[in-house]
Amino acid sequence: MGTEAKHQNKLEPRDNKFHVGNGMDGKHYWLTPPEVYVPLNMEFRFTFDPCPYPKPKNFDGLTCEWGSSNYVNPPFGSIIHDGKKKGPTAWARKAISESEKGKDVVLVYPIDKWILMLLAAGAEVRNLRDVRWLATEDGSQGKGTGRHIAAFILRGSKQ
């Protein structure tokens, strides 16, 4: 058997590009530029950063208690955390949990521009869950993608 490359989310932190660096330059920890952070901080008056740099030893933003107003710039990929794959869903769950306690949370994460365009246009979003699409060849049902599918609904004006 040859050595098969493992996906980043299957690698231990010491081997994961989100911890050791991406590419030849070794850069892997990217901070929010002031022109993005400062206006948000002026509006929300952040009291806590669950993804600080430099990260204190043994600090874990996914399990600690957050502050009353939080700025969250998490890793932009999945990592191994407590022996399990954790990525944007884990950060979203934690952000929701903290907001349910009455805390403000500003979570930044990259998404495709077209999603923001649809939301800005007033699209209604529905979760269709993990759709088991049908094969064009014989109509058989697939196993699903493992990802939820969103329906973006733009309602035309009625005249």
- The tokens describing 94, both together, are 């934690």
Q: What is the pLDDT of residue 114?
A: 96
Structure token digits, residue 41: 């901080």
Q: What are phi and psi of 85, to 5 degrees?
A: -70, 125
What stretches in the chain show pLDDT beneath 50?
Answer: 1-3, 8-9, 18
Instruction: Name the pTM for this structure.
Output: 0.74
CA dist 41 → 45, 55, 62, 114, 153 (Å): 5, 20, 21, 26, 33
State phi, psi for 118 to the nearest 5 degrees.
Answer: -65, -40
- pLDDT for the residue 5: 55
Domain boundaries, the chain: 8-107, 113-153
- The Cα–Cα gap between 93 and 99 comes to 10
